[in-house]
């Protein structure tokens, strides 16, 4: 079996990063193609801003795993978005471990994100993205020495500076600002994203909304092409029905549909 090598992502291999999470049989599907393209825009932006955004593991020339991250200078930490070894044949062969140790080694070295100082910690918020039988990211990070922050089992950190204790600031995401023209319609706002599935799931959400309310007009807003449309709505991305943001994930379809139905009732009342 060929040797595994770990490399930082650059403009030269950014397409490998955009493709790796998408199963090969989906790579020509137009919805996935858009998802990968949106990830590319995101990754190029991160490379421009920070000089790095991910590491890829290769077996020979085949990408087999990735770890994606970004520095948070105001906290002096590096945040890991995601780690992923997609193909079952590559699980439990040390690839995830190589990626994480590659990142640890790299961030301890000379990066000028924090005035030449190494980050105080690696921080991650895990989510259940594993395939059936695959190792969950939360257990992986714990086994590699990450510790839980407070009582949230998915918020984990690994101190790189001895004695450092991570105290997370309140995470305040953007809030939707209701627009009169969003009433009586479904609005989907999308843009560059670190995950190619963000757009794929939004398309799935559109399908679910159409099943619940086939009469509803639909508007798609591309945040890159129409930044003002996004900005006036508070800078949010996602699905808005009848001027109400839908917070459930479409992966939980029952809950998602119930929320859409509730949002539609909001119209009748007001």
**Bridge partner list, 6:** 57
CA distance 161 to 244: 44
Binding piece for ligand COA, criterion CB under 6 A, among 9-17, 28-36, 70-78, 79-87: 79-87
Of these, 130, 154, 222, 253, which contacts ligand COA (CB under 6 A)?
A: 130
**What is the layout of strands, in order, in the sheet containing 4-8?**
4-8, 54-59, 62-72, 77-84, 121-125, 152-159, 147-149
For ligand COA, which residue has the nearest CB? 96
In angstroms, the Cα distances linking 6 to 22, 91, 105, 134 are 20, 16, 12, 21
Of these, 11, 49, 143, 161, which contacts ligand COA (CB under 6 A)?
A: 143
**Contact flag: residue 62 with ligand COA (CB under 6 A):** no
Length of the chain: 270
**Contact flag: residue 194 with ligand COA (CB under 6 A):** no
Smallest distance from the beta carbon of 85 to ligand COA, in angstroms?
Answer: 4
**Contact flag: residue 251 with ligand COA (CB under 6 A):** no
CA 73 to the chain's CA centroid: 19
Smallest distance from the beta carbon of 114 to ligand COA, in angstroms?
Answer: 26
Cβ burial 186-196 (10 Å sphere, 16+ → b, else e): bbbbbbbbbbb
CA distance 43 to 69: 11
C-beta closer to ligand COA: residue 4 or 216: 4
Smallest distance from the beta carbon of 60 to ligand COA, in angstroms?
Answer: 17
Of these, 71, 96, 119, 245, which contacts ligand COA (CB under 6 A)?
A: 96
Smallest distance from the beta carbon of 91 to ligand COA, in angstroms?
Answer: 4
CA distance 189 to 226: 10
**Contact flag: residue 159 with ligand COA (CB under 6 A):** no
Count other Cβ atoms within 10 Å, centred on residue 156. Answer: 24
Smallest distance from the beta carbon of 184 to ligand COA, in angstroms?
Answer: 35
**Residue whose C-alpha is closest to residue 84's, from 71, 64, 101, 66:** 66
Of these, 32, 42, 69, 84, which contacts ligand COA (CB under 6 A)?
A: 84
Smallest distance from the beta carbon of 93 to ligand COA, in angstroms?
Answer: 5
- The binding site for ligand COA (CB under 6 A) comprises 82-85, 91-97, 129-130, 134-135, 137, 140, 143
């Amino acid at each position: 079996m060929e040797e595994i090598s770990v490399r930082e992502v650059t403009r030269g291999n950014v397409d490998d990063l955009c493709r790796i999470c998408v199963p090969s049989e989906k790579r020509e599907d137009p919805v996935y193609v858009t998802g990968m393209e949106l990830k590319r825009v995101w990754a190029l932006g991160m490379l421009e801003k920070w000089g790095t955004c991910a590491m890829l593991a290769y077996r020979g020339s085949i990408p087999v795993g990735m770890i994606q991250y970004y520095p948070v200078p105001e906290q002096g930490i590096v945040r890991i978005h995601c780690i992923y070894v997609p193909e079952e044949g590559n699980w439990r062969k040390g690839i995830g471990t190589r990626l994480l140790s590659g990142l640890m080694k790299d961030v301890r070295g000379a990066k000028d994100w924090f005035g030449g100082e190494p980050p105080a910690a690696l921080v991650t918020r895990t989510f259940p993205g594993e395939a059936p039988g695959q190792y969950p990211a939360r257990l992986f990070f714990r086994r590699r020495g990450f510790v839980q922050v407070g009582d949230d089992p998915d918020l984990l950190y690994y101190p790189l500076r001895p004695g450092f204790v991570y105290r997370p600031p309140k995470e305040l995401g953007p809030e939707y600002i209701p627009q009169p023209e969003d009433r009586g319609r479904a609005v989907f706002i999308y843009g560059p994203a670190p995950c190619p599935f963000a757009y794929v799931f939004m398309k799935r959400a559109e399908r679910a909304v159409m099943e619940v309310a086939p009469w509803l007009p639909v508007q798609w807003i591309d945040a890159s092409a129409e930044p003002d449309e996004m900005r006036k709505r508070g800078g949010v991305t996602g699905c808005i029905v009848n001027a109400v943001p839908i917070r459930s994930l479409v992966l939980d379809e029952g809950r998602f549909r119930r929320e859409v139905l509730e949002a539609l009732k909001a119209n009748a009342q007001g």
